[in-house]
Amino acid sequence: MVTLNAKNLTLEQVHQLLKLEEDSDDLSFTELLALEPLTEFEQQEISQIQNDFRYYLNAGKVAEGQVKLLVLAPLLRLAGFYRPPIQILLEQDIAEITIADEDTTISGRLDLLAINRHKAPYFWVLVIEAKNSQIDSLAGLPQLLTYAFEGLKQQESVWALTTNGVSYRFAYLQSANPSIYQLLPEVNLIDRDRAIQLLQVLKAICQI
């Protein structure tokens, strides 16, 4: 039996091992989520998060841990992820994924997982993979899809996010035969309009 670490997988390997396919249809966030306008307070808060992050970004590379602390933590708080029934779990080991036909198992540890504790079994609301600011956010996609795929064992769909603090790429996974995922358009924290959309998307996912 061969054991692979999720962080070393290529996208091609993820597609092959998990029998996961990308849906190439170009979908917008509004086709999947109900995005609501931000309040004046929320717009002020997102501007502050932008300014705080720029301060560190201007000084050089922003480490993965700093991305979680400076950006993800305040964004998730602002979007409502810290309030019941949602709970944030950190650095959770995934149960080993066994690929019977390939005589292979996949192991790994996801960065952040938001669950709804009022649904049994716990409903996976959002899976997040963070990278440092000098790594392309899409570099975390194979790892992210592997972790999010675990959630499809107990529910029909899962939202997932990979980010380097600047760029944010959401993926929407659906259980099917074979299971599919859709990669949504990039949003970022630097451009004001796209930063606003980022918070709108996070709020909408939190309210699902």
- Domain extent, residue 71, equals 2-206
C-alpha 179: how far from chain center: 18
Strand intervals (E) in 52-198: 86-93, 97-99, 104-107, 109-116, 123-130, 157-163, 167-174, 179-183, 187-188
- Of the candidates 111, 130, 143, 102, the one whose C-alpha atom is nearest the C-alpha of residue 14 is 143
Q: pLDDT tens digit string along 71-84?
A: 999 999 999 999 99
For residue 110, what pLDDT band results from cuts at 50, 70 and 90? Answer: confident
The β-bridge relationship of strands 157-163 and 123-130 is parallel
Name the token pair of 65: 């841990």
What b/e readout covers 34-65, taking b as 16+ CB neighbours within 10 angstroms? ebeebeeebeebbeebbeebeebbeeeebbbe
Name the token pair of 149: 């795929």
> On the CB side of 68, how many CA atoms lie within 13 Å of its CA?
15
Least confident of 12-16, 23-27, 168-172, 194-198: 23-27
Q: pLDDT tens digit string along 30-58?
A: 999 999 999 999 999 999 999 999 999 99
The residue that leads in pLDDT, 93 or 113, is 113
Spatial strand order in the sheet of 2-5: 2-5, 104-107, 97-99
CATH of the domain at 141: 3.90.1570.30
Name residue, tokens 């400076």: 70
Helices marked H in 59-191: 64-67, 73-79, 141-151
Share above pLDDT 90 across residues of the chain, in percent, rounded to a whole number: 79
Statement: residue 95 has pLDDT above 70:
no
Residues 162 and 146 sit within 8 Å (Cβ to Cβ): no
Residue 41: predicted pLDDT: 98
Sequence-separated (6 or more) residues with CB below 8 Å from residue 54:
190
Distance spanning both ends of the chain, measured CA to CA: 39
Question: Model's pTM, two decimal places?
Answer: 0.94
User: How much of the chain is in helix, strand and coil states, percent to nearest 5?
Assistant: 40, 30, 30
Name the token pair of 131: 């990278």
Specify the number of domains making up the chain: 1
